[in-house]
Amino acid sequence: SEFAADVPRGTRVVDHYAALMRDPDPAVRTAAADRWDAWESTHISLDPAWEPGPLNEDLRVRQNVATLVTHYWSNDCFLTGDRVVLDRAGELSGIPGVLIHGRYDVSGPAITPWRLHQAWQGSRYLIVETEGHGGPIEMGMTAEAIDGFAQRGA
């Protein structure tokens, strides 16, 4: 596919795109952001509400999302070694949390938040059977959870 066609052998795709998003040439960054956006839009296409087209219409938003996502993912979200979240989930005990996941999310399998929920005493795990990655029901549930935390002063 065009998305990974220029990735050097032995290089992680995300590392390649993180480097492209730091390129001094704006045309390189724009092309990379456009390809990243097309890939993200396609991989969430299992969501029944998905519509073809750019995930992010605005160029600046496409560039920001591609830069942030590739930076964090290429650095393993800065959670390697003794910082692995699942190994330290006990530290979250007593801190309220809601894990919301769409069943059709192929970028993050449902087992991942389930494992965190199992290790995080007091968390809630909600799965939306009809959505993929960040659908409207999930976004509504996220807003409700945040409002609930704000009301409780959590």
Arithmetic mean of pLDDT over the chain:
87
Q: Residues 82-89: what's their mean pLDDT?
A: 85
pLDDT: is 54 or 90 the higher one? 90
User: Quick check: 44 and 108 in contact, CB under 8 A?
Assistant: no
In 3D, which of 57, 62, 55 has the Cα closest to residue 20? 62
User: Quick check: 21 and 66 in contact, CB under 8 A?
Assistant: yes
Domain residue extents for the chain = 13-76, 81-152
Q: Residues 14-37: what's their mean pLDDT?
A: 94
Give the DSSP letter of residue 44. T
- As a whole-number percent, the residues of the chain with pLDDT over 90 amount to 49
Asked if the model's pLDDT at residue 154 lies above 80, the reply is no
How far apart are alpha carbons 48 and 70 in whole angstroms?
26
User: Quick check: 91 and 119 in contact, CB under 8 A?
Assistant: no
Q: Residues 116-138: what's their mean pLDDT?
A: 91
First-to-last CA distance in the chain? 45
Q: Of 25-29, 63-67, 84-88, 117-121, which range is least confident?
A: 84-88
Of 67-76, 91-100, 131-140, the range with the highest mean pLDDT is 91-100
For residue 154, give Cα distances in angstroms to 102, 120, 145: 25, 16, 11
Give the DSSP letter of residue 8. P
- The pTM assigned to this predicted structure is 0.69
Longest dimension (CA), the chain: 51
pLDDT: is 62 or 78 the higher one? 62
